[in-house]
Structure 1
Amino acid sequence: MSGPPVLYHCPCSQLHAPPPSLPSAANQSHPLETLYFCPECDAIRCARCVSVEVSTYYCPNCLFEVPSASVRAEKNRCARNCFVCPACSNTLQTVSMDPSSSTPSDPGEKYILYCTYCRWDSTLVAMTFDKPQGLASQFQKIEDDSPSMRELERLRDHFEPLLRPRTSLHPYTHARSSSANNAALATLRRDGRDTHGHGMRASRLGRSGRARDVEREKEKYEDDLPSYKSITAPDEPSEQEDISLLRSLTEVDDILPLSQQQTDSWIPPLYMTDQRPLRLPLQSKKSKRCPACRHILIRPEQKAQSTKFKVKIVAANYLPALEVSRPEDASVSHVRRRTGTVGSSGEMELHAGRSYHFVLALTNPLYDPINLRLGLQQPSGEGTSKPHFAVHLPTNTIGVAAFTDVWDYDEDEAGEEDVPRAGQKDLPGRWKLGVVERKANTTKVGGELVLSREAQGDVKVNLLVTYTYKSEDSQAADGKEKGEAELKTFAFWTVVWLGTVPLRQPESTSQPVS
């Protein structure tokens, strides 16, 4: 059975997270390789709840590190000769128009931007340059003089004095920033530039007490923000000229594809001759912190050419990895390797009214052995319906060996010959629930899935994993000796996918015509 991985539940801002039983909690479950772990809070963190900070900006082409103070002035783009091809998004090169010229310092020589992938060059848009250096400053000057860019700068200068002092660093404290946003929206509505959708939504929310508080905040900050006046009068683009040109069109290749029209600018170009090369956008390296204690979880190297991390605390180094498989998958995969066929989705299908056996592999990433217990979530509550399947797992404590060197595992293989292997049964006709295999730092336990005749759809079970490990505290504050082992217990919820039962086709009620 090869399907989606076991998903781990992240409590995010909740101190004591409930079991992920509701459908709305599906976005709180993630694969293990995408999660982080805070050793100070002993909590799982995901990409939705961590605080992100920009460490450095750099150009992905020339790897030039840009100071943070210069990013806004350079419009978040490279200030050197790094340009993007408007046709294929490849990097452009600066070449001479006369390749046979042997004097690069010729004052009459012209230079162009050339794409080595799609053969696009800047002569198609009537752009040539006298010098091969300083091209980015020329492009930036053209961008700054455009009406749309001047209008954007005016909007930014208008709203930034109100938004900047109310921005909070905490990801869950949005009260201050929301009040500033409400003031900005109130001013836009007062000027008549807001859409009808915002008014309808505000009228619906006005019935609640929280919406009334928001309205009072809007009135409070409405007077603080002056009304905005545009530099130029808004004018709707005329389509008559485009229609007349399209009617006289002879080549379809003269029109830009829709994918390129929507990525160039606010006013998308229509013709190939209207394309302009763009300066290469900057990229950034980001650091991530725990939202509760501000502990650093991810910190990359500052150098642009480096791919290493100064700090990298991921959940895969702290939480045991879980993997589900079926005992018969080993023989099926062996036959597939011999025949060269590719597995189909039928291997993941289950059938209602049957029982299936599965193996749950538990891998310990710690350097100390752990004792692990598994617990299934039981349906509770008045309106909770019982599932149409039952899962049986061992309830006793399961020991998993520590992660160590490979040659240390060879010494322990001789004493594990009496351990029953996967597929053995403790009683005739009954699958063994318990440890079925131990190898290195991985322990496999057997489980059983019983489906009722009404079962259909995905079979998922919420599994609570609780493990205990020894932690050596080098700085004991309670008077204990240095290096004394301390037992710690950590629990987390997972969502285990066991397969899919095909949906039943509705029975036909029509009678055959005799």
Structure 2
Amino acid sequence: MPADFAKSVGSEPPSETEPTAESALDNDPDAAFSSIGSFYSSQLSASNPADPLLTPSGGYNYSSPSSLARIMSLYTGRSFGKKDTGKSSLMRESADFSEGLRIIDSICDDGAIQRLRTEGWIGTASVAQQAEQRHGLMFADDLRPIPPRLRTKRSKRCRACRHLLVRPEQKVQSTRFRIRLVALNYVPTISLKPLQPSPSTELPLIDLKALPQLRPSQFLLTLKNPLFDAIKVTVATPVQTPGKHSHKVTVLCPQFDIGSNLDRWDEALGDGKSRRSSKLFSISKVEYAGGEGGRVAEAGKVWEKGKNWTTIVVEVICAAIAESEELEEDEDVLEIPMFVRMEWEADLEREGKDEVKGEKKEKRELAYWTVVGVGRVGKL
């Protein structure tokens, strides 16, 4: 029995991979189009092996100068309008799913109708969802994720002051942003925590949920510099906080310096002096004094200092609040209004020119108001 006849009558078992391949092509239009495209490309190359317009991949190369000249000669030469006496070879059509053939079956429509009855309106894809898909899909379960479109870099300015917020660089020399946003990259990070008294003083610990009244309490105020330049900071607070209960606030060191926010590689590649100073600042004053027990906050002196942060002491004396006094919501919360002023020297940014080593620097200033929450004042 011939092998072809044996396959036709079914003497050999069908391959188990054929249904999987058919279902994959049936569910993926891109795979089916790719298969039928490669099939017809192979047929074109087989039927016209000497065609100069054909590329090795099977497509036509119309961008080649020789191909364009040949096309123009077909319409402008003497042979224009004459019939071709040669016989063209015939091409066969696709015969199975591996070649991109898809046969429309009415059973598919019956299955879609039954699925519409089962899932209802919720399971059906909307018009907007179908418009965003590459191929028309009927049901929501068949929708595929849509990749976001790539966006080009554009310069952006503030609508109010026309300050240049973002400007793409033509020649990128560093991963840092030369132009930084004010709110995110200029304003220091502020944190506050209580300075607990030494056990030798026999004073109770400070509870942020019940701050002591009519007694000075000290807090550690830490400011962290996000800039790549060292800054000078001035902190000012009102003598008494506004509101129904006036609490006294005193900043023991209102003026101080904060180091630059340099990377570790910048420290390692810097000179020896900067490395020694950064190493010195990384060790806090608490370690020098042997712990907080032997230290006393002094006016005009920084409590602790690091590479790009500085800690100062703020003293607060809470006003008396009677236990029988009726308070409104959050009226017993202690909040300190604080004015922060920064000064630093930055490199001049020149548009269209590369950075020059040792270029001039300009003095900049930034000032703003902020509110620092401390805790709740206890009652007598």
Question: If the length of structure 1 is used for normalisation, what is the TM-score?
Answer: 0.34
Q: Which has the larger radius of gyration?
A: 2
Question: If the length of structure 2 is used for normalisation, what is the TM-score?
Answer: 0.44
Say which structure is richer in strand.
1
**Which of structures 1 and 2 has the larger relative contact order (alpha carbons within 8 angstroms, sep 6+)?**
1
